[in-house]
Amino acid sequence: QVQLQESGPGLVKPPQTLSLTCSVTGGAITSGGYYWSWIRQHPGKGLEWIGYIYFTGSPYYNSSLKSRLSMSLDKSKNRFSLNLSSVTAADTAVYYCARGVARPPTYFFDAWGQGTLITASS
């Protein structure tokens, strides 16, 4: 059974870059046609989809964050990463990584990490 675990700095100072990593166990990130995804939840709010990186390494981002985002795969360590530049207080949230499954026309997340709280504050 696949398991995901986020790791990150906890605190990031604006306007620095936030870097998060998601370690995957129980399955290779390069197999199965999965979409390795990031989702966040602002305090007291609902979920916001950030984007994904396909198992081939092709990324796809939420258009509202696209200019500040980059994602990558580290096949040797079976993990994937997110970089969000120029953070502001509005980026304070719990960040989740998840495995996305595409069954056109739907796309859903069948495994999630527990989430990591990121606070953007000076």
- Smallest gap from Cβ 19 to another protein, in A, equals 21
74 lies in the binding site for another protein (CB under 8 A) = no
Nearer to another protein (CB atom), residue 11 or residue 47: 47
62 lies in the binding site for another protein (CB under 8 A) = yes
67 lies in the binding site for another protein (CB under 8 A) = no
- Smallest gap from Cβ 99 to another protein, in A, equals 10
Site size for another protein, by CB under 8 A? 25
75 lies in the binding site for another protein (CB under 8 A) = no
Which DSSP helix (H) or strand (E) runs through 18?
strand 18-25
Closest CA to 77 of 12, 25, 19, 18: 25
106 lies in the binding site for another protein (CB under 8 A) = yes
54 lies in the binding site for another protein (CB under 8 A) = no
114 lies in the binding site for another protein (CB under 8 A) = yes
- The span of 8-16, 23-31, 80-88, 97-105 binding another protein (CB under 8 A) equals 97-105
**Three-class SS of 21-82:** EEEEECCCCCCCCCEEEEEEECCCCCEEEEEEEECCCCEEECCCCHHHEEEEEECCCCEEEE
Cβ neighbours of 104 (radius 10 Å): 5
Whether 83 and 19 have beta carbons less than 8 Å apart is answered as yes
